[in-house]
Amino acid sequence: MQPAAAREIQQQCASNIFEIITLCRQHDACVVLTLILPPGKVPLARRLVWSDKIDISLQEINSSPGRHLADAEGVAVLDPSTTLAPGRSSANGFSNYRNTLHLQPAAYARLEPAPLRVLDGFTSAQREKHPPLNSNIPADQ
């Protein structure tokens, strides 16, 4: 991260997230926003260019949607860190990570059900609000 541009990068990232959500909601799409996971262990070679401010920036970016979208209709905010928290208690704290930016396949598998449950809830609510127009027509027609 370029230290001089850090604030601008954070603001642009948050702005992009809100713009995407706004466009999706304008088209009546339900949105499941997954917060950004913190990075895994940073290897020595990458530490030369890695900034400690990345973690702070990530926390700031992640806190923005929670504050602004907590009660927004058709929008759910998921924090994958809460699902993966048990793995962070290992000796090195990074057992869920394959490398700095990617998770182990088992960690992705543990994350998968959460957004699917939210989407199922959205579709159930949508079906209740807007039942199919042809619900009285038999399936074989």
Q: What is the pLDDT of residues 29-67, one digit of tens each?
A: 888 898 888 889 999 988 888 888 888 888 888 888 767
Predicted TM-score (pTM) of the model is 0.72
Q: How far is CA 120 from CA 20, 51, 66, 75, 115, in A?
A: 21, 39, 21, 13, 8
Q: Which two tokens stand for residue 3?
A: 């230290």
CA distance 105 to 27: 33
More confidently predicted of 23 and 3? 23
CA distance 68 to 83: 22
CATH of domain 3-128: 3.40.50.1110
Each domain of the chain, given as residue ranges in start order, spans: 3-128
CA proximity to 117, closest of 30, 17, 23: 30
How many CA atoms lie less than 13 Å away from 54 in the CB half-sphere?
A: 17
Mean pLDDT of 8-24: 89
